[in-house]
Amino acid sequence: MAGFVVYRWRTSGFAWHEFTTALAGVDWSWLFLALALIMATYVGRALRWEVMLRPLQKHTSLWRIFSATAIGFTAVVLFGRAGEPVRPYLISKREDVTFSSQVAAWVVERMLDLLMVLVIFGIALSQISHSAIQHGPRVKIVLEAGGYTAGVIGAACLALLLGLRKFQGGVQQRLMEGLSFLPAILAARIEKALKSFGEGMESTRSGARTALLVFYTIVEWCIIAASFGCVFKAFPATHELGITDVVILLGFVCFGSIVQIPGVGGGMQIVTVLVLTEFFGITLETASGIALVLWIITFVVIVPLGLALAFHEGIKWRNLRHIEPGESTGAGV
């Protein structure tokens, strides 16, 4: 995919003037609205995480969770996937719960998000005849393959999420029986980690809490889709694209963002350019400008706030790059 974009870049002759013109011609009111919507999703993520914390800690702080969320996503932008443990680590420290339990909460969050993305993607692919995509045999094959892949992954995620609800008890016992050959000290540490992980699954064992988690997830992704739509409206080249087109791009971009290069991003920009040029017939220069703006709004915008909060709280970034899972409780960082 990256090679194809580089090939297009070299063979088409990238016109920097058209690129700067596309950026200069944006409607800033739409971009500011997109920015506000994306910032709201970080509050939504904090609310959802608070629901997962309630079985373990009755006196949670939404502000502390939001702060850890902002710093955690900043770490992902700066360090790539190596920054993913920062958020559950900070929350475990501040809310005085085990790190393993918050890793479990992170797994639940990822499952919910992935399931929602697959639902959005599947709906968009089913409505492709009503989109602005330029149809062709190769496009049809790619989209059908994407639909089947989304279905398989969605079924696997649903099975895993349901399986995690039964993680305590018999499952843990069978796992420990299978690891009985290990030294007693190591087996005890694994058993403790599994117990903490099972505690983090508590939020999925209550029907009411699960429903609330699903509700927050649906609202969050509707807001994300609305933010993408605002970015589309900001550029003259994509101003006329409809909701289905926005959702199709969102689905592809979410899968592309799995590849995260520290400080750069990577997969998201490449997929955005590829979809806009190949599916919607937008020029490479304009597509590159849209990809850049989408990346800044969806990822980079949290960095200044995350850095400010980390500085205010005296957090040392070099410590966050080497998180020890054993450091599971305590208030300091």
What is the Cα–Cα distance from 104 to 109, expressed in whole angstroms? 9
Residue 326 lies in a domain: no
Residue 8 lies in a domain: no
Non-local CB neighbours of 237 within 8 Å, separated by 6+ positions: 22, 282, 283, 286, 290
Residue 328 lies in a domain: no
Residue 5 lies in a domain: no
What is the pLDDT averaged over residues 174-203?
Answer: 62
pLDDT, residue 219, reads 93
Alpha-carbon distances, residue 246 vs 59, 134, 136, 185, 193 (angstroms): 39, 15, 20, 53, 41
Give the tokens for residue 17: 């003037």
Residue 325 lies in a domain: no
Specify the higher pLDDT residue, 8 or 306: 306
Non-local CB neighbours of 145 within 8 Å, separated by 6+ positions: none
Residue 9 lies in a domain: no
What is the pLDDT averaged over residues 16-40?
Answer: 89
pTM recorded for the entire structure: 0.77
Residue 13 lies in a domain: no
316 pLDDT exceeds 80?
no
What is the pLDDT averaged over residues 197-209?
Answer: 63
Token pair 């700067």 is found at 20
pLDDT, residue 48, reads 93
302 pLDDT exceeds 90?
yes
pLDDT, residue 256, reads 63
Calculate the average pLDDT of the chain. Answer: 76
Q: How many domains does the chain have?
A: 1
What is the pLDDT averaged over residues 246-265?
Answer: 64
pLDDT, residue 278, reads 78
DSSP codes, 216-284? HHHHHHHHHHHHHHHHHHHSGGGTT--HHHHHHHHHHHHHHTTSEETTTEEHHHHHHHHHHHHTT---H
Segment 109-139, tens digit of pLDDT: 888 888 887 777 777 676 666 666 655 556 6
Among the ranges given (50-54, 184-188, 217-221, 298-302), the one the predictor scored with the smallest mean pLDDT = 184-188
What is the Cα–Cα distance from 91 to 100, expressed in whole angstroms? 11
Among the ranges given (43-47, 95-99, 168-172, 298-302), the one the predictor scored with the smallest mean pLDDT = 168-172
Give the tokens for residue 210: 């699960």
Residue 6 lies in a domain: no
Segment 279-298, tens digit of pLDDT: 788 888 888 889 989 989 98
Token pair 């992170």 is found at 106
Among the ranges given (49-53, 207-211, 303-307), the one the predictor scored with the smallest mean pLDDT = 207-211
Of 4-18, 38-52, 71-85, highest mean pLDDT: 38-52
Q: Which domain holds residue 160?
A: 27-320
